[in-house]
């Protein structure tokens, strides 16, 4: 009587090609692993995307449906230089500042993965400085609109009353994100300098902060296009 072989039957074995696929998939499963902190930041950014999208879609709806004349951005957002109005000059500087901050944030993440503590902290500080400069210029812009142009959240002396409500709500909400981001970056920088991330053995917190900051910059691109160029 033949005893069953301890080896598996050829019919139950996978072909060589499929075994290779299974082996490759098993070897690459680490590529699909997302750290908990990064996953939570992506979920937060996704929810924030819905909020900003709702605001911007609402703005476009109001802009298209209103019958009152909409203010000309080139006139409202002009900056006087030697007595001559320069259209969108301040806005261009604000946009350049925020885009530059994305570059310094990317450099911070790069240096973080090289374990270069000093350069990482320096780039984070530069990013926070650009963020503070942006918020300062936005405060100047608001002051000019309220004091000199007579624009309020509930009214507008230069056209459609809805302009003030839309502008102050959306740019204010974005400015709040930038301000919170500056505080967040300074907190991360402190952890970098005191060696907290070094003791943890990874600098993922810098990358997570970078995700938030790049999102804030990307939102500004849409605000810039819809408010200042449309």
Condensed to tens digits (0 to 9), the pLDDT of residues 60-87 reads 999 999 888 888 888 888 888 887 888 8
pLDDT tens for each residue of 80-123? 888 788 888 999 999 999 999 999 999 999 999 998 999 999 99
Which tokens hold the place of 193?
């300098």
Measured distance CA(217)–CA(225) in Å, rounded: 13
Structure tokens at 201: 């053995």
What's the mean pLDDT when you consider all of the chain? 85
- pLDDT tier, 21 (very low <50, low <70, confident <90, very high otherwise): low
CB 8 within 8 A of CB 19: no
Query: How many CA within 13 A on the CB side of residue 131?
Result: 29
Q: What is the pLDDT of residue 161?
A: 82
pTM of this prediction exceeds 0.95: no
- Residue with the two structure tokens 């009353």: 161
Three-class SS state of 230: coil
- Residue 29: the pLDDT is 52
- The model's pLDDT over 147-203, given as tens digits with 9 standing for 90+, comes to 887 888 877 777 788 888 899 999 999 999 999 999 999 999 999 999 888 888 788
Return the minimum-mean-pLDDT range out of 29-33, 38-42, 107-111. 29-33
Q: What is the Cα–Cα distance from 203 to 114, expressed in whole angstroms?
A: 9
With a cut of 70, say whether residue 12 has pLDDT above it.
no
Domains of the chain: 37-228 (1.20.120.80)
Strand partners, 155: 152
What is the spatial distance between Cα 55 and Cα 59, in angstroms, rounded to a whole number? 6
Alpha-carbon distance 79 to 15, whole Å? Answer: 72
CA distances from 162 to 40, 67, 154, 184, 222 (A): 35, 11, 7, 33, 19
Q: Is the per-residue pLDDT at 5 higher than 50?
A: no
pLDDT band at residue 128 under the 50/70/90 scheme: very high
Helix extents (H) in 114-230? 117-147, 162-193, 196-200, 204-223
């Amino acid at each position: 009587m033949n005893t069953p072989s301890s080896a598996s039957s050829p019919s139950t074995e996978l072909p060589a090609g499929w075994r290779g696929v299974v082996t490759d998939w098993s070897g690459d499963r680490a590529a699909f692993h997302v750290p908990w902190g990064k996953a939570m930041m992506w979920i937060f950014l996704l929810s924030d995307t819905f909020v900003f999208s709702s605001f911007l879609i609402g703005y476009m709806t109001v802009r298209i449906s209103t019958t009152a004349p909409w203010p000309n951005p080139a006139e409202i957002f002009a900056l006087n230089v030697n007595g001559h109005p320069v259209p969108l000059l301040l806005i261009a500087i604000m946009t350049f500042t925020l885009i530059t901050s994305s570059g310094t944030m990317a450099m911070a993440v790069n240096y973080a993965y090289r374990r270069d503590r000093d350069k990482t902290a320096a780039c984070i500080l530069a990013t926070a400085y650009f963020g503070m400069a942006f918020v300062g210029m936005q405060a100047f812009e608001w002051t000019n609109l309220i004091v000199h142009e007579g624009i309020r959240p509930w009214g507008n002396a230069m056209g459609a009353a809805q302009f003030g409500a839309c502008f102050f709500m959306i740019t204010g909400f974005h400015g709040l994100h930038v301000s919170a981001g500056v505080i967040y970056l300074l907190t991360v920088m402190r952890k970098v300098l005191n060696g907290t991330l070094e003791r943890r053995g990874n600098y993922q917190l810098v990358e997570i902060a970078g995700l938030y900051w790049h999102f804030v910059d990307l939102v500004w691109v849409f605000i810039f296009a819809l408010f200042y160029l449309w």
